[in-house]
Structures are given as C-alpha cells and as structure tokens.
Amino acid sequence: MSESSVSRRAFMAATAGVGGVFLTAGWTDAAEAAERALARSAAGAPVRYKALAVADANDIIALTAQIFPSDGTPGAKEAGVVHFVDQLLAKNAKEIKAPIADLMAQVNGEAAKRFPGKGRVAALADADQHALVAWLEKDKPETFGFLKGMSVAGMFAMPARGGNRHKAGWKLIGFKDQFSWKAPYGWYDAEGNK
Amino acid sequence: MSDRGHHHGAAPTAAGPKTPRYSPKDAVDFVVVGSGSAGGVVARELSRAGYQVLVLEQGPRLGPNDFTHDEITIMQENLLVNKPDLQPQTYRMTAADQARPSFPVQYGRVVGGGSVHFTANFWRFHPIDFKEFSKTGPIAGSTFADWPISYEDLEPYYTKVEWDIGVAGQAGASPVDPPRSKGYPMPPHPIGSTGTLMEKGAKKMGWTAFPAPMAITSRPYRGRSGCVACGFCLGMGCEVGAKSSTLFTAIPDAEATGKCEIRSNCYVRKVEVNDKGLVTGVIYFDAKKREVFQRAKAVVLCANGAETPRLLFNSKSNRFPDGLANTSGIVGQNIMFNGNVVAMGQFEHEVNGYKGVAVSRIIHDTYELDAAKVGFHGGGGFDFRQIFTPIAFGFAGVPPDGPQWGSAYKAELARAFTRTVNSFGHTTSLPVATNTITLDDEVKDAWGLPAIRLTFKEHANDLAVYKWFAQKAQDLLDAAGATKSWQFPTENPRQQGGGPHLLGTCRMGNDPATSVVDKNHRAHDVPNLFIVDGSSFVTGGRGQPTMTIMALAFRAGDLIAQAAKRGEIPSAG
C-alpha cells in the first residue's frame, strides 16, 4: 500500500461494486445546467433533467438526502447532488445507466414489499426512507456503495461538475477553496509561532 | 557510437536552440524510453554531454494549464497516470493461483512520469541501504543482497539532485543524517500544524522530528516560482511549476541543448536486436497507433519497474527467447512496493492539513531497528500529513467504527476534516523471487500487447515490520494529543502489494547470473542497452525511492556519456 494508493483506494472505496465507473464523464457545462435547473425550480417551474427520469430523480433526491440530510446545514438536496448525478448520466450513460437502474429497482422493490401502496421511495416518510437505506447498507452493500459514492462525489466535487452548489459541501467541512496559503495553517502551528 | 553526435535539428536561434526532430531512419545516439524521474534526468545528462537524445513517452505532454485540483479528473479519470481501460492488469497471490483482473500497478503516464504527481518526499538513502545483506546476513525466502555500489558512490549525485533539480531541506537536522558534501539549496518549507504535532509526539516518544526534505521550491529557484502552498501535491500536477518534476527541470534543461527531442504519445512495444545481439532501435506505436521503427545506436530503458520488465518480455527473440537481457531469468522478479502503513488521528483544534506542502516534519530515529529487540529485520521513517482531499475524506476520513451516513456522519465530516492527521510509516520491504511482474497469458491492452500480471505475496518479515510501524504511527498520534486514533489494516488477505513504487525487477549487480544490469546500468547481455529506473534497485530503501531513482539516473547518465566518449558502447552500425 502506498500513500497515493491510500488516497486512491479511499476515493474508489464506494465504487468498487460498479467497476469504479460512476464518475467518469465529460463536464463542460454541468454547473451551468445545474444552475439553470435550480433557477427553474426556485421559480416554481418543474425541474428539467438532462438524462434522469423525473421519478428516478425524485428518488435520488430522497436517497442522497439520507446520506447527507438537510438538518440545519445544507445537505445533498441543497447541494444539488441530483444534478451531479444527472450530468453524470447525460455524459456517461453507457456506464452509469445500469447502476442507477439497479438502485431504483432494488429500493423500490423493497419499498413495495415493506410499504405496500405507499408509492415510490420519494413518496415515503423520512423514517421509511431511512429504513430502506439501512437495508441497502446491510443487504446490498455494492448498491449502497454506489449510492454513497454518488452522494459524496456530488457533495464535494468541484461545483463545475453539477453538485456542491455554492460550495455547500466544502463549506460544510471547512475546506476553503483558495489557491494559495501562508503559514500558520492551523491552530497548532499558530500557537507554536507565538 | 559517435563522439558528440552530429547535429540533426535546426540551428540555434537567439531564443535558444530549436528542438530537433529526429528521423526514424537515422540512428540517434540514444533512444530513452520514458520521461519520468529517471528518463528525464538521463536525457538531460546525455544531451548536455553532446549526444542526440530521443525520448519516447507513452503519455501526453501536459503543462500547468492542464493541471487541476479536480479530484475526479485526477483520481477517477486518471489524467496523469496509467488507465485501466487502456492498459488492464491482472493479479494473483502466487503462481498457483488464477490471475484475475485488477489494477495494482500505478505509474505516471505523461511527460515527466510519476514526478508530475508525486508528493515530493525526497529522502536520501543511508549508507546501510546499500549493504544491509552484509550486516544482517541472509533472510529465508528473500533474495536479499548488497548493492554493487555504495552510498559514497551515489553521494555526489544526491547532491546534484538537490541542487540541479531542486530540493528544500535542512542539512544535519536529522539525528541520523547521512554524510553529505553540501547543504540544501533552499530552506525547508514552513512547519504546518501537522509538523508541530509531530514534534510534540516525537518528543514524547524520545525521537526527533526534523524538517522534511521536499522536492518543491520553498523560494523562487532557477527560474521557477516558489511554492504557493496550495496543498494539492499528492497525485496532482503543480500549477505553478514549484514541484521539482522532471517536467519543469531536467526536461527543459535537456531541450535547451538543442539535442533532445521529447516525443510524447509514443508507446514502445519492442526493442529490436540484430543477430549479433546488439540493439538496433525500438518499435513504437505513435498517437494514431501506427507502428514506427526508430533506429538508435543505443537504448536506455527508463520505463519504470513494471513497464521496463514488460518491455523486455515483449522484446523476446530467437536470441533472447525468455525476454531481452534475461539470460539470468530474473527479469521481472523481486518487485518491491515499499512498506507504507497509515494511522489516523483527530485533534481538538484545527490542523488544516490541506494547506501547504504535504509533509513538513519527518522522523528517522527508526531508520534501522535492532532486529534482536524487535524480532524482525528492517526499519523506516514517519511523517504526519492530511492526505484526503474533500471527496476522498468523505469516503475514508471518518473512523471506521463510527457512522458512515446520515446526520451523525455529516456532523463528523464537518467536525473532523480540518482536525484530522494521517500518520504514515514508510518502511523496508524485502525482495522475493516469486514476487514478479510478468506478462498475462490472456489479457491484452488496447494495442494488443500482453497485460502486466502481478504475482505478489508479502514476506512474513515485512508483515511484522508493517505491524510494528502501524502501531508506532498510532502511538505518535496519541503522544501528540490525538483525541481519537485508529489504524488502517496492514494486511489484505485477498490482494497484496501494489502502488506507484515499482522497484527491483531488473536489479543491478556484478554477477550476470543474479542480476540484469551491471553497476553502471548496462545490461549484462546487451552491450548497447542500459536500464535506469526503479527496476535497478537491489533493496527498496525506506519507502521514498524517487530521490534515489534520480540520483541513479544522474550517475548513469554521467557513466554512459563517459563510456560513449571512450568508444565503449558498440552500435549495430
């Protein structure tokens, strides 16, 4: 194991079950498209997606919000993670379509069993959605890894890739998007320099 | 071999000599395969000695404008490194196992090679690294041996790396600093909180944390910018040219001679030899996958510790049925990846390890451990850093026993990103004959060439080393005041080995029966073939090989040029 393989392995950790393909795509206008979609949403117009079916998009919003809930600070919903996924699918349908379809089929299949008559994942109560993600984590680890991978990447990737809207993910963890720094960098070296 | 080969390019201009374009039909003095830490330096030294040099690099030529902090471009789309879709690999633990698709071997696939994306830890080897066998004696299951050269042989070239390539550091700061003829050309980088914490931990452990030697400019140096401390060194290309990659140092120096052509997107598939056993040139695929035969008076392989043996195997012929330069049968054997173990710790206050160069302090008190006390052979060093960029931190930054999704997970990420430190142990790893790079029997790359197959199982001694260092890495964090600490596993029962440190597969030595190249990097079997890269290593040092790869390349370039001037390199004519 090498230092770069540690980082790379961490990066790939959630994608192993789908061949590590979930992030590969071209990204020219992803952020702009996401912004347009969000503006439409804010204006009360139905959100248009480039590639996702609306029903799938709504389920993805619900599921990624379980990974990063809106709980006082911006979560996956506010960060626009679904738009990251949408751009991904639009640019790389060949590799991303099947894992998304698997995710949809598995969670909605389980939802139909557990909560008959209540509709798709997006229509369920928060506690029921939580139960479905917990089931994925336990019984479908590869699919859970894919969901978490999409959520993490959509939360923290450069906004140009469609998610991390207004740098919501970076602000959450305290990562400052600045190209140049001067020491002291943190509390300990600042104290040491006193 | 001509002395001072004839000039092939356009005449020098006021702006400097024009880069030559060598014709494939004309035998250039030297074809260098690979443009990384070894190839870039060899090209510099040979072209500055007056020889025609053509460097063939399989990857593209990129520059600061192409580099980015985008984790997806770098880590997922593999902008700077080899790509699994183009060049698949396989892995098996032992020769009795069925190899399965995997991707254990990583290397730079761009002009500048791995030096474009390296972290830039530039530790010299110590004298013990070259003569451990003599001191320790044989170790069962290992092809442990001394190097045919000593630290003293290499010392002038370490100094050359530090001054000609550019390394920042503080001479004599290490309690076990090896002898040096000159200090560093640049002062160390500022200590970050990771360094401050390491100093605290080291003091409690009875060790000394000292300024890390880093191949990154700490002030403007030789026409390059000083580091701006953006913090995105590991895995990324430097957007200001402060990282001392050969892309920014040796290669421009080579091109400034007017004797060196860097030909990118050229993937060498075979080294050709004539019926006298002399190299005549190389066959490569150009960017459009057209085959080109480039004639050469001599060839220097600097393709890295995995691609160099692969190329030798792919260059088999009637004269060399087991692979070129492989009458010993040991090409591809003894691959070492270095031990590299990681503990993680969280601290009360902000560390912000994402700012500044990755490493500002290291510990070398454990460089050579007493086997009688610890129960194994080996040693190594430590550093503190925060290696996880935001996406990677989301995957692996939080404790494995804590929440992995939901509000608690989110809160943990929010609290911990700025307060987390990785404690690395970089260690010895033993050469083992059955740990090999060979050709896969079935899997082919996008050019139809047999894929790399890694066969690798950790030596039991090394597992003991890793376990010891992982615990001490965690102890250091605790001694520094970590509020929580944990370790990454040191052994994967399903797949072992892998990484970008590719060492030992064409080892140097005096005996042609047990080594591939002599102490001057000339192939024992082929007098106009040289091999200079991580494959030349006999033992693996302590986990930071690039400084030594560059020093070997400076020395090899010097010796090859001297041999050429003396007319001691025969060519096919």
Which pLDDT score is estimated for A38?
Answer: 63
Which pLDDT score is estimated for B429?
Answer: 96
CB pairs under 8 A between A and B: 201
CB B512 within 8 A of CB B327: yes
pLDDT interval class at A27 (50, 70, 90): very low
Contact: B414, A24; criterion CB under 8 Å: no
ipTM exceeding cut-off 0.90 for this assembly: yes
DSSP, residue by residue, B194-235: HHHHHHHHHHHHT--EEEPPBSB-SS-BTTBPPP------TT
Query: Once rounded to an integer, what is the mean pLDDT over residues A124-152?
Result: 97
In terms of pLDDT, which residue wins out, B141 or A92?
B141
CA distance A51 to chain B (A): 20
Is residue A13 predicted with pLDDT exceeding 70? no
Is residue A144 predicted with pLDDT exceeding 80? yes
Q: What is the pLDDT of residues B217-272, one digit of tens each?
A: 999 999 999 999 999 998 999 999 999 999 999 999 999 999 999 999 999 999 99
Contact: A4, B195; criterion CB under 8 Å: no
pLDDT interval class at A25 (50, 70, 90): very low
| Regions in chain B scoring below 70 on pLDDT | 1-16
Which pLDDT score is estimated for A11?
Answer: 44
CA distance A72 to chain B (A): 10
Closest CA to B257 of B474, B443, B8: B8
pLDDT interval class at A34 (50, 70, 90): low
Query: Once rounded to an integer, what is the mean pLDDT over residues A12-37?
Result: 44
Give Cβ neighbours of residue B259 (< 8 Å, ≥ 6 apart): B5, B7, B9, B17, B20, B47, B50, B51, B52, B53
In terms of pLDDT, which residue wins out, B252 or A93?
B252
CB within 8 Å of chain B, chain A residues 95-154: 130, 133, 137, 148-149, 151-153
Q: What is the pLDDT of residues B493-528, one digit of tens each?
A: 899 999 999 999 999 999 999 999 999 999 999 999
Is residue A26 predicted with pLDDT exceeding 60? no
Which pLDDT score is estimated for B274?
Answer: 97
Contact: B72, A157; criterion CB under 8 Å: yes
Among B351, B352, B466, B477, most A C-beta atoms within 10 A, so best to mutate, is B352
Residue of B nearest to A169 (CA): B390
CA distance A191 to chain B (A): 9
CA distance A126 to chain B (A): 12
- Regarding pTM above 0.80, the answer is yes
State how far the Cα of B188 lies from the Cα of B177, in Å rounded to an integer.
Answer: 15
State how far the Cα of B57 lies from the Cα of A15, in Å rounded to an integer.
Answer: 31
pLDDT interval class at A48 (50, 70, 90): confident
Among B68, B76, B109, most A C-beta atoms within 10 A, so best to mutate, is B76
Contact: B396, A184; criterion CB under 8 Å: no
Contact: A5, B410; criterion CB under 8 Å: no
Residue of A nearest to B236 (CA): A4
Closest CA to A6 of B310, B388, B435, B418: B388
Which pLDDT score is estimated for B287?
Answer: 97
Average pLDDT, chain A: 85
Peptide bond into B20 cis (omega under 30): no
DSSP, residue by residue, B385-451: E----HHHHHHHSS-TTS--SSHHHHHHHHHHGGGEEEEEEEE-----TT-EEEEEEEEE-TTSPEE
Of A73, A137, A180, the CB nearest to B228: A180
| CB contact A54 to B (< 8 Å) | no
Which pLDDT score is estimated for A47?
Answer: 82
Which pLDDT score is estimated for A31?
Answer: 59
DSSP, residue by residue, B231-278: ---TTS--SSS-B--TTTTHHHHHHHTT-EEEE-S-EEEEEEE-TTS-
Query: What is the b/e burial string over A31-61, where b = at least 16 CB atoms within 10 angstroms of the residue's CB?
Result: bebbbebbeeeeeeeebebbbbeeebbbbbb
Residue of B nearest to A66 (CA): B406
